[in-house]
Amino acid sequence: MKSKYIFGGIIIVVFLGLMMYLFTQSNIEYADDFAKVKSSEKTVKATGSWVKEKNYELNNKQKTFSFFMADDKGNEMKVIYEGTIPNNFESAVSVVVTGKYQNGYFHAKDILTKCPSKYEDQKTSSSSI
């Protein structure tokens, strides 16, 4: 009877240890300052805006999409994403990239774009009436 409790206790301890390990591995830092992004060795979610003056590049041979983005302080970094250009990228008001900064640029695993809301124009036009 005691061996069942000991075995059950060991299973619970192993399960909790595994859960803690997985939780710490999936921990993503959020940064709005690219100085923090460049110094971090963890996976980071960085928020900024596309630097339209520098355009973007689509490399069909390597299947990459690259662009420059800037944070609120004006710091810029190059972002390279293995994939295609996200929908509505050109009309986005902000961009959120997830990945790591290595070898002089940000290696994005995911890109999210925030576009202007269609309801914002309705608010401004209805408030001026």
Which CATH number goes with the domain that contains 103?
2.40.50.140
| pTM exceeding 0.85 | no
Residue 67 within a domain: yes
**What is the percentage of the chain residues whose pLDDT exceeds 90?**
38
- Domain containing 67 equals 30-119
Residue 78 within a domain: yes
Q: What's phi and psi for 94, nearest 5 deg?
A: -150, 160
- The tokens describing 25, both together, are 């591995």
Q: 40-56: per-residue pLDDT in tens? A: 888 899 999 999 999 89
Half-sphere exposure of 66 (CA within 13 A, CB side): 14
Residue 18 within a domain: no
Residue 10 within a domain: no
What is the number of domains present in the chain?
A: 1
Half-sphere exposure of 57 (CA within 13 A, CB side): 14
Burial class (CB in 10 A: 0-12, 13-18, 19+), 89: middle
- pLDDT for the residue numbered 125: 47
**Is 59:80 a contact under the CB 8 Å cutoff?**
no
Residue 16 within a domain: no
Q: Which of 14-18, 28-32, 69-73 has the least mean pLDDT?
A: 28-32
